[in-house]
Amino acid sequence: MEVVIKETCEQMSKAAAQEVAKTLNAKPNAVLGLPTGSTPLGLYKELVRMHENEGLDFSQVTTFNLDEYAGLKQDHPQSYHYFMQENLFKHINIPRQNIYIPSGTTDNYLAFCQWYEQRIRDCGGIDLQVLGIGSDGHIAFNEPTSSLGSRTRIKTLAKQTIDDNARFFKAGEKVPTYAITMGVGTILEAHRIMLLANGEAKAEAVAGAIEGPVTSMNTASALQLHKDVLFFLDRGAAGKLKMTAYYEWIQANLPGAPAGTG
């Protein structure tokens, strides 16, 4: 596990975008796992800039999104189909047929979830899975007490998650209670994982994920079991870590680190 701490969310997002670019430059037909929510917006903005100004190429890339609300049509402003289209896909040169997002309107959730898992395997697995983290430590929609071996499935959302996401919906509009989500076990099969977190509201969840016990009460803590994980944090999200000085010492002493860092 590698922990990268930046002073601001913007700096964190740019550093994370560089990691995505390295993946695509090394493997132009890479398979990316992508999240939604407020945290990855800075990452997507920087990837769009790199595509437009530096020629970052997505023409051979395949993407799988982590989750989608059950019951929302693709054109609903709060659907994750809509989010991804508006914030990333319509600004880059990714082929439409290479984009996979769970269907919130399927009439057979079980069959769809099995198909989604198989499609990931057919594409060779996910090369780089990008994650955010909920204020209670959940990744994707794997709420506290989710099995750490879980697969893609329909999941009932916790009240905390519904409350956290209510700000994205219009006043009086009901936040969906269910979502389709990749499971923790599905996520852990990615070849490499990168988690982004910003702000003091995420600090306790981040500390639990990195330095706490592996527990289903903080599903992000399962990332401790993976061999290749990067955490990108701003100063606020890193605020409750106990080993900050060690993480920064590591970054300052990596081969090729700029002189005087740390």
Q: Which residues of 16-43 are buried (b: 16+ CB within 10 A; e: fewer)?
A: bbebbbebbeeeeebbbbbbbbebbebb
Helix (H) or strand (E) holding 232: strand 229-234
Q: Cα(14)–Cα(166) distance, rounded to whole angstroms?
A: 28
Find out whether 39 and 196 touch, Cβ atoms under 8 Å: yes
Find out whether 153 and 74 touch, Cβ atoms under 8 Å: no
Which strands sit side by side in the sheet containing 178-181, from one edge to the other?
67-69, 178-181, 153-156
Q: What is the dihedral of CA 7, 13, 17, 20, to 10 degrees?
A: 100
Note the residue count of the chain: 262
Question: What positions carry a catalytic annotation?
Answer: 67, 136, 138, 143
Tell me the Cα Rg of the chain.
18
Residue keyed to tokens 């852990």: 188
